[in-house]
Amino acid sequence: MDGDQAILDRMRAAEPAETRTASPVDDAWRGPWMELGSIQRFEWNRFELPVTSLPPALDGLRILHLSDIHLKSAWHPALDELIRRVQHDPPDLLLVTGDFVEDKFDGRAAVPIVERLVHGLRSRFGIYAITGNHDGDFIAARVARWGVRVLPAGTSVRIDVRGEQVDLIGLAGLTRQDLEVQDVFDLPPREVGQSRVPCIVLSHYPDALPRIQRAGVVPDLFFAGHTHGGQVCLPGRIPILRHDTLPRRYCSGVHRLGDSWLVVSRGMGYSSYAIRVFCPAEVVEVVVKAEG
C-alpha cells in the first residue's frame, strides 16, 4: 500500500489547474440545485478529451457514461428525457459503471423498471456495463439477457469500432477488496499492426485507478461512479461525504491523472435518502479527440 500512498501524495501535490481538471464544452443542460423524491431533471455534461496516438477513424468517438441509477419500483421522469435524447442521437458506445438498483439484498421490485430503461437505450457499437456494490448476479444476468454486455471483474474484451479496435476492461465487484485478489489483467497486446489500441476501463470505484496504474495498467479513459458526487453537497458542489479515498476534488468530474483521464459520474439516482442538494443527477458524454 506504500506505493498507493505515494501515488495519492503526488496527486495532492500542486499542479497547473489545466492538467488536473477538464471542463464541459457547454453548459446548456444545468440541473436543479435540489431534488426530492423522483429525479425530474439532470445535467448532460459533454467533454472533449484528447487521447495520444488515437487512430484517425476513432477521432470524434462519442461515449455516453451512465452510473448509479439506483432504481427501485418507481420510474424517474428524468429517464424519459434520457431515452429520448439517446434514441434521437445514439452514441458510439454506452457504458454503465454499476448500481442499476438500490436494494442490495432483493432487487426484484426494480426489475421491470431496469428492463424498461435498458430497452430504451441505444448505441451504435454496443452497451457495456459492470455491476456495482448494490448489484449482484441477479441483476447482471437480466441486463445481459436484454442486450447489455456485462464485463465480469478483472476481464477485458477487444471490440471493433469504426473499423478499429478498442480494449474494454471491467472492474466490477461488491467491495474494493475484490480488486486486491484479482489476477493480473490478461490484456491483449496494445498494438495491432501499426495502430495503437485505445484502452478504456469501467470501474465502480474511482480510487481503483491509481492501484491499477501501479500494477502497470494505464488506460486512456477510466470511467467510474459510486460517489454520487457526494449527493448532498455544500454550495459550490463541495461534497460532504465522498465514499472514496481519493482527494475530495476527484469525487466528480473529469481529471487528468498521469496518462489517464478519470471520469467520475455523479450518477442518475439516489442512495439511502431520496435527496440531492447542490449535486444534480448527471449524464456524461465524452468525445474522444486525437491529441495535437
pLDDT at residue 41, rounded to an integer: 95
CA 248/CA 187 separation, integer angstroms: 31
Structural domains for the chain: 2-11+32-290 (3.60.21)
Q: 3-class DSSP state for residue 248?
A: helix
Could you say which residues of the chain have pLDDT below 50?
1-2, 7, 11-19, 181-184, 189-194
Burial (CB count within 10 angstroms: exposed 0-12, middle 13-18, buried 19+), residue 28? exposed
Alpha-carbon gap, residue 10 to 257, rounded angstroms = 10
Q: Could you read off the pLDDT of 138-159 as tens digits, one per residue?
A: 899 999 999 999 998 888 899 9
pLDDT for 83: 98
Going by DSSP bridges, is the β-strand pair 127-130/149-150 parallel, antiparallel, or unpaired?
parallel
C-alpha 234: how far from its chain's center?
23
Distance of CA 133 to the CA centre of its chain: 14
Per-residue pLDDT tens over the stretch 163-176: 999 999 998 777 77
The predicted structure's pLDDT at residue 153: 83
- Whether 246 contacts 207, CB under 8 Å: yes
- In this prediction, residue 25 carries a pLDDT of 80
235 residue type, one letter:
P
The rounded distance, in Å, linking the Cα atoms of 131 and 71 is: 14
What is the pLDDT at residue 130? 95
pLDDT value at position 185?
A: 54
